[in-house]
Amino acid sequence: MIGSRKKVHLEPNTNKPMNSRRIFLRDGGIAVLGLSLVPGFVYRAAMAAKPKLGKKKTLITIFQRGGADGLNLVVPFGDKDYYSLRPSIGIRAPSKEGRSAIDLDGYFGLHPSMESLLPIYKAGDFAIIHATGSPHPTRSHFEAQDYMESAVPGDKTIHDGWLNRYLINNPDPDATTFRGVSMGPVLPRSLSGSAPALALGNMTSSELTSDTREMYKTLYDEESDALLSGTSHELFEAMDQLKELNPRGYKPANGVNYQMQGQNGEFARNMSQVAQLIKADLGLELAFVDIGGWDTHSNQESRFEQLLTRFSGTLATFYEDLGDRMEDVLILTMSEFGRTARENGNAGTDHGKATVMFLIGGSVQGGAVYGEWPGVAPDVLNENRDLAMTTDFRDVFAEVLDNFLDCENPGVVFPDLTLDPARYKGVIAS
């Protein structure tokens, strides 16, 4: 599936990513600074004389927290072992009657509650990678999430996230405050690091009204500490820009509605706001959205019915809302691990290994399930219990950075991995 490649980057990854970089100051001088010492606003002020706003590519990463059961999201109905492992929660092979998998390619099928994504799959804008996961054996949510977001599994000394390392290593002269944005109240590990990024849910509050803001603005403008005054300047500017957006009055395009039955709630609201930010051309390049509820130790199917309807319905709504702009948008989903191949005694599943990743967007070579299928026969299960991992999640991340964002040096983002485009799945048209 590897298409023709326009560039190949193979660099030894001996350098830590945060070493000194050149910063071109506005007056034309050149200074070599330790980037980690430079506050965000100075960095951006140095990089951007006047932000040029306009269309740009946007990568939306969605983290399914809790460990999503890839085996029931994308059902291997063609693998007979699947049904012996899951006598009660297994999804039936495609059938005209009753709830059953939605056939994708004669072997895999979508969970019936994900029907809304089928048209996108058929249109060729939705690709699935099965049996993806982390090489690290941990079954702890926290550890596994952390390792996926740092993209350096097993290394506790890495402080920043993979998306932040991308920002650091690909300085953009047109960057705005909105280059990297998380929709939650806390900056996720993926976006944390020395490059600035916004946590929109944190910058909330109602309490900081425009009037209170005026009072603070006056005090901070007077402040001699450049870190405090410069950062506040940027904060107030960002808040002004967001206020102008008027999210209450947002009308999605193409007649869709994010608040439809069964898909309202935080995830839908966050996705509608991502859509709004993209359309406002504020310079959004990386967006991060969380969706929880995947830790299905019991009664998995009744939970999935609701959760998957909400999840896929929102993605389909977003896809419709963005319309032609999906050409420049890529949605990438991930979860810290999959679940045990065997169902447990409570009609649920426990922490496992490999799972599925979704890619949705105009640049996706969709309508296909990618990845090597390891099978779920007892002798090929990971530790005799989980779907084995055949695609390292970092290879998917790398392909996205390399071929969607046209990152010049994706190797720097993955310090302990020797990148090899031969391992890319060819999911992104390049």
Query: Which contiguous run of DSSP H or E holds residue 121?
Result: helix 118-122
Size of the site for another protein (CB under 8 A): 83
Pairing of strands 126-133, 391-392: parallel
* From 74-82, 140-148, 346-354, 405-413, span contacting another protein (CB under 8 A): 140-148
Which one among 20, 84, 95, 202 touches another protein, defined by CB under 8 A? Answer: 202
Which one among 10, 228, 253, 260 touches another protein, defined by CB under 8 A? Answer: 228
Q: Cα separations (Å) of 51 from 165, 312, 394, 409?
A: 21, 35, 32, 24
Q: Looking at residues 205 to 224 of the shown chain, list those that interact with another protein (rule: CB under 8 A).
A: 205-209, 211-212, 214-216, 218-224
Q: Looking at residues 42 to 101 of the shown chain, list those that interact with another protein (rule: CB under 8 A).
A: 42, 45-46, 65
Based on the shown chain and the rule CB under 8 A, indicate whether residue 242 belongs to the binding site for another protein.
Answer: yes
Q: Is the dihedral of CA 228, 171, 11, 164 positive or negative?
A: positive
For the bound state, the minimum distance from the C-beta of residue 127 to another protein, rounded and expressed in Å, comes to 26
> What's the rounded Cα separation, in Å, for the pair 111 and 94?
10
Q: Cα separations (Å) of 172 from 52, 273, 291, 378?
A: 11, 23, 29, 49
Q: Which is nearer to another protein, 86 or 189 (CB)?
A: 189
For the bound state, the minimum distance from the C-beta of residue 345 to another protein, rounded and expressed in Å, comes to 17
> What's the rounded Cα separation, in Å, for the pair 275 and 374?
37
Based on the shown chain and the rule CB under 8 A, indicate whether residue 30 belongs to the binding site for another protein.
Answer: no
Which one among 159, 253, 262, 299 touches another protein, defined by CB under 8 A? Answer: 159
Q: Looking at residues 278 to 317 of the shown chain, list those that interact with another protein (rule: CB under 8 A).
A: 290, 292
Based on the shown chain and the rule CB under 8 A, indicate whether residue 239 belongs to the binding site for another protein.
Answer: yes
Based on the shown chain and the rule CB under 8 A, indicate whether residue 118 belongs to the binding site for another protein.
Answer: no
Q: Judge whether 387 and 340 are in contact, CB under 8 Å.
A: no
Q: Cα separations (Å) of 320 from 23, 122, 285, 331?
A: 40, 14, 20, 13
Based on the shown chain and the rule CB under 8 A, indicate whether residue 324 belongs to the binding site for another protein.
Answer: no
For the bound state, the minimum distance from the C-beta of residue 95 to another protein, rounded and expressed in Å, comes to 36
Length of the chain: 430
Q: Which is nearer to another protein, 40 or 94 (CB)?
A: 40
Which one among 1, 31, 123, 253 touches another protein, defined by CB under 8 A? Answer: 31
**Cα dihedral value 176, 180, 163, 16, nearest 10:** 40
Q: Which is nearer to another protein, 239 or 429 (CB)?
A: 239
Residue 416 neighbours by CB distance under 10 Å: 12
Q: Which amino acid is at 242?
A: L
Q: Which is nearer to another protein, 21 or 92 (CB)?
A: 21
Q: Which two tokens stand for residue 240?
A: 């002004």
Please give the full DSSP string across 152-215, using - where no structure is assigned: -TT-TT--S-HHHHHHHHS--TT--TTSEEESSSS--GGG-SSS--EETTTS--TTS-HHHHHH
For the bound state, the minimum distance from the C-beta of residue 251 to another protein, rounded and expressed in Å, comes to 15
Which one among 169, 273, 296, 333 touches another protein, defined by CB under 8 A? Answer: 273
Which one among 97, 225, 324, 379 touches another protein, defined by CB under 8 A? Answer: 225
Based on the shown chain and the rule CB under 8 A, indicate whether residue 142 belongs to the binding site for another protein.
Answer: yes
Closest to 69 measured CA to CA, from 267, 359, 396, 356: 356
Binding pattern to another protein, positions 366-385, x when CB under 8 A?
A: -----------------x--
Q: Looking at residues 389 to 408 of the shown chain, list those that interact with another protein (rule: CB under 8 A).
A: none
* From 30-38, 102-110, 112-120, 315-323, span contacting another protein (CB under 8 A): 30-38
* From 70-78, 106-114, 181-189, 395-403, span contacting another protein (CB under 8 A): 181-189
Closest to 331 measured CA to CA, from 309, 314, 347, 343: 314
Q: Which is nearer to another protein, 5 or 243 (CB)?
A: 243
For the bound state, the minimum distance from the C-beta of residue 203 to another protein, rounded and expressed in Å, comes to 4
Q: Looking at residues 250 to 269 of the shown chain, list those that interact with another protein (rule: CB under 8 A).
A: 266, 269
> What's the rounded Cα separation, in Å, for the pair 37 and 226?
13
